[in-house]
Chain A
Amino acid sequence: MKAYFQVAIDQHIERAAKLLEAIDNSDVPREYHALATTCRTEIVSSKQQLEDLRDNVEMQRSELQTIRLRRFRRAVDRISKIEVTGIAALSRPLKDDIFLTRLVDLIRQEIKYPFLPPTVTTLSTNYFHIHNDIHLMFVPLSEGNYLLHLPDLYHELAHPLLFDDHNPRIADLRQSVDLTWAHALSYINDEIAYEERRRGPTEYLLYLALWQRSWRSWIVEFYCDLFAVFTLGPAFAWAHIHLCMELDHNPFAVPTRGVSSHPADDARMRVILLGLKKVGFVDVIDDLQARWDEYLEIADVRSHSNYRRCFPDQLLNQLVELAYSGMVKSPCRIVDPNVADPIHQVLNNAWYQFWHHPYNYIQWEKQAVEQLREMCGGFVKEASR
């Protein structure tokens, strides 16, 4: 395969050089500078790895070819990932991307988020998500023209906090995550021991093993939901209902065949409501619960015993308590019903308008988005709606 590596590596080195040309573009708006720097560092590093695989005489030895292949794949995948994420965003700077990047920065300031803000791109084909490694958040193309899903920006902002190992200001939050994990493992281990004692159907042991493996990612998602609840308040709960109404997911789903990355939507709603109660939004909980129950009724879905066993009240209560204690010790501003920060007001007021003035909502939202764009700097005002 010597010839293969020779040509393929050369081609990828050339590709990396072309991508560097795209990054080193003086027209890149300043909102993208951090992203451009990160992408450049990553591409240069991958290019150097490829050059080493090509030029290092030692790497030609036959007994090192398996390692050479692994290193080749890693470098190629890294370039490919940066190309389809960071560089794709850099190559099409849109007003909406700049607006949303500035909006996230304003949110960061309001909630005293302890990290620098990510860049935002409207290139998403899969709802909201964030690439932690390059600090790039993806949202759907036209999301910057509407308000009802924007509370999910807060959920995504929590992911980098949970995966950071270094910032001492969020050490207590990380410790809360550890404790929650220990509680979840202990609960599942107790259930496994119970099943082994009673010699019941073997399927249950299989399910419990899957739940145990799933809970580690579920804790991340629950914590991100609670971060959004503790910093934004009821608007996040409404956004959760809104998303569930739009997607055909079983809200009581529990894994029975493979590991799942996201907990059941009903369990998330239970955690969100417990979180809202914790920060003093008792008045809206009945209303949210009633709307959620209506949703479950019209979706014609019911919980089952496995669901309650997978997401017991006691464990969810512990999770909320621990997340709250970690959050109050972090530098983040915790929301309460008296908070009147501008972005917080707009996003929560949107849901008030939605339910109380439904016939005027569309018009109201257009004006509210215009005002939000003004707050983020006049030139990102978009007249295309």
Chain B
Amino acid sequence: MSDTTLYSSLYQQISEYAELVDEALIALISQKNDTRLFQQLGKMLGQLANPPEGQLGSRMVSELILDSDIVGQSELEMAAEALGTGDIDDVTREIIERLARSLEQERSKAMARIRGERR
């Protein structure tokens, strides 16, 4: 009868995604070409756009992000491809920045639900 269980399961996954997105954003802003990091982020964005079967947590986080309408599925797919090929332009960076905001918003909401606050 508590939201805590559900949101504590999602909280960790959202935080891990958020950390990876911010790490990549720092590299992009600092103009560092960290291929491994960008490919890792590209893979994660691909999973957010199309969560793999049998991964309930990934699927729920994906739905939360897509429901919030800050970043769309096709945008995530486009950014995932750009990160995978290394062809990262300002549009890709702007999508990643919006995703960072969306993840932070969902992380904060999840924490509020864990604490029993309603938002």
Residues in chain A within 8 A of chain B (CB atoms): 58, 61, 63-64, 67, 70-71, 73-74, 77-78, 81, 125-133, 138, 156, 159, 162-163, 165, 171, 174-175, 177-178, 181, 213, 216-217, 220, 243, 247, 261-262
Contact = CB atoms under 8 A, between A and B. Distances in A.
A114 to B, nearest CB: 15
Interface residues of B, number: 35
Nearest to B114: A81
Given A132-B8, A133-B12, A77 B56 contact: no
B28 to A, nearest CB: 11
Given A74-B18, A78-B15, A213-B63, A174 B54 contact: yes
Contacts of B111: 77, 81
B18 to A, nearest CB: 7
B102 to A, nearest CB: 12
Interface of B: 1-6, 8-9, 11-12, 15, 18-19, 22, 25-26, 29-30, 53-60, 63, 67, 100, 104, 107-108, 111, 114, 116
25 contacts: A58-B26, A61-B30, A64-B26, A67-B22, A67-B26, A78-B15, A81-B11, A126-B1, A126-B116, A131-B8, A133-B9, A133-B11, A133-B12, A159-B6, A162-B56, A165-B54, A165-B55, A165-B57, A165-B58, A174-B55, A178-B53, A213-B63, A213-B67, A216-B59, A217-B6
Q: Taking chain A's interface residues, is the majority helix, strand, or loop, or is none over half, making it mixed? A: helix
B52 to A, nearest CB: 9
Contacts of B30: 58, 61
Contacts of A217: 6, 60
A67 B25 contact: yes
Contacts of B1: 126-128, 243, 247, 262
Nearest to A221: B6
Most buried by A among B5, B11, B22, B57: B5
Given A67-B26, A70-B104, A175 B53 contact: yes
A214 to B, nearest CB: 11
